[in-house]
């Protein structure tokens, strides 16, 4: 098992502004623009919302599960929410290693508005449409560039206008490629999957019960009920104990610090992790770590 010791950033929640990037958040919509100069950078992200990623220059590779997608200049990809992705991004050779991309984080509400306005509610795809990297035509590139100009002056933007622009973008994209329209519909109505498969895939990711329910294609109440029938206990109790057991194993048999173990087992707060660990095992994780160092 691969041990991931760094804290996974939740996005768009964790996005911040700096000299090379802008994160614009308006009434549940998040638009993130980045234009940086770098050789290569990698890391992990947890997607709280559906992500529409456009690359205008450079290369952005995402990995999740057994899938790898490389998005290059003038290409895009749509990714569902509630997943952890590993990414590697780099500038384009011959352009001063310039990387230029935009991320649009889409809540279910904006997709609902789009699907209703597009009048395609009954036309769900009969078969799964695989996630794929799609080309962006010149008209859409110009449209995206116009959005970039808008978000550079966030104080002057009317929240209603940015929503209209985003809906316009979704219509243009769906009109340009039927595959994307089917993908929009697909992420709105997840196929039901076996709970044990979802749990094992995401046990040590920073997912909530709502995330797990979505990934399994169930409502939260149905997920809890089905989980109880399989494991004979509540999902919160079972998942926490599995994570704590894994944490004990790592503290006793690895060189990872308490903080690293906390993040690698799906916990997001070291104080909370230490408290529930002590409650389960009768000693704080620092004591277990100290004993291991003495042996």
2 has pLDDT over 60: no
Q: What is the pLDDT of residue 33?
A: 73
Q: Please state, in angstroms and as integers, the Cα–Cα distance from residue 205 to each residue in 57, 217, 239, following that order.
A: 31, 18, 11
Question: How far apart are the C-alpha atoms of 55 and 134, rounded to whole Å?
Answer: 11
User: What pTM was estimated for this model as a whole?
Assistant: 0.87
The rounded percent of the chain whose pLDDT value lies above 70 is 90
Mean residue pLDDT of the chain comes to 86
290 has pLDDT over 80: no
Q: What is the pLDDT of residue 4?
A: 62
Record the tokens describing residue 195, joined without a space.
């709970």
Q: pLDDT, tens digit, for every residue of 51-106?
A: 999 999 999 999 998 899 999 999 999 999 999 999 999 987 765 678 899 999 98
218 has pLDDT over 60: yes
Q: What is the pLDDT of residue 128?
A: 62
Q: What is the pLDDT of residue 110?
A: 87
Record the tokens describing residue 128, joined without a space.
């799964």
- Average pLDDT on 270-276 reads 98
281 has pLDDT over 90: yes
Q: What is the pLDDT of residue 37?
A: 66
CATH architecture designation of domain 195-294: Orthogonal Bundle (1.10)
Do residues 56 and 100 make contact, with C-beta atoms less than 8 angstroms apart? yes
Q: What is the pLDDT of residue 159?
A: 76
At 122, the pLDDT band (50, 70, 90 cuts) reads very low
Q: pLDDT, tens digit, for every residue of 126-177?
A: 556 678 899 998 888 888 888 888 877 777 777 788 788 888 888 888 888 7
CATH architecture designation of domain 9-188: Sandwich (2.60)
Q: pLDDT, tens digit, for every residue of 149-160?
A: 887 777 777 778
Question: How far apart are the C-alpha atoms of 295 and 285, rounded to whole Å?
Answer: 16
- Mean pLDDT is lowest, of 16-25, 110-119, 228-237, for 16-25
Q: What is the pLDDT of residue 241?
A: 98
Record the tokens describing residue 273, joined without a space.
């992790």
- 30: nearest Cα among 103, 84, 85: 103
Taking each helix axis from N to C end, the angle separating 178-188 and 159-176, rounded to the nearest 10 degrees, works out to: 120
Domain segments of the chain as ranges? 9-188, 195-294
Q: Please state, in angstroms and as integers, the Cα–Cα distance from residue 218 to each residue in 111, 135, 165, 286, following that order.
A: 18, 33, 32, 38
- Average pLDDT on 257-283 reads 96
Q: Do the two domains 9-188 and 195-294 of this chain adopt the same fold?
A: no
């Amino acid at each position: 098992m691969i041990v991931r010791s760094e804290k996974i950033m939740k996005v768009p929640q964790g996005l911040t502004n700096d000299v090379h990037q802008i994160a614009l958040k308006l009434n549940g919509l998040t638009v993130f623009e980045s234009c940086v100069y770098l050789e290569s950078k990698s890391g992990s992200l947890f997607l709280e919302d559906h992500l529409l990623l456009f690359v205008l220059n450079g290369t952005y590779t995402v990995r999740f599960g057994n899938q790898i997608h490389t998005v290059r200049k003038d290409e895009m990809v749509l990714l569902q929410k509630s997943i952890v992705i590993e990414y590697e991004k780099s500038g384009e050779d011959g352009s001063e290693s310039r990387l230029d991309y935009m991320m649009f984080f889409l809540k279910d509400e904006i997709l609902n508005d789009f699907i209703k306005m597009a009048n395609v509610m009954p036309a769900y795809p009969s078969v799964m449409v695989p996630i794929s990297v799609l080309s962006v035509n010149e008209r859409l590139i110009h449209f995206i560039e116009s959005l970039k100009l808008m978000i550079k002056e966030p104080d002057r933007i009317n929240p209603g206008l940015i929503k209209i622009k985003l809906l316009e973008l979704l219509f243009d994209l769906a009109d340009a490629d039927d595959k994307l329209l089917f993908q929009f519909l697909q992420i709105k109505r997840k196929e039901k999957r076996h709970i044990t498969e979802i749990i094992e895939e995401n046990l040590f990711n920073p997912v909530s019960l709502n995330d797990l329910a979505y990934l399994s294609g169930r409502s939260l109440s149905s997920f809890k009920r089905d989980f109880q029938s399989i494991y004979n206990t509540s999902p919160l109790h079972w998942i926490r104990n599995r994570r704590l057991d894994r944490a004990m194993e790592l503290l006793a048999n690895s060189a990872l610090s308490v903080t690293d173990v906390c993040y690698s087992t799906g916990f997001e707060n070291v104080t909370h992790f230490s408290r529930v660990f002590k409650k389960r095992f009768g000693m704080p994780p620092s004591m277990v770590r100290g004993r291991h160092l003495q042996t």
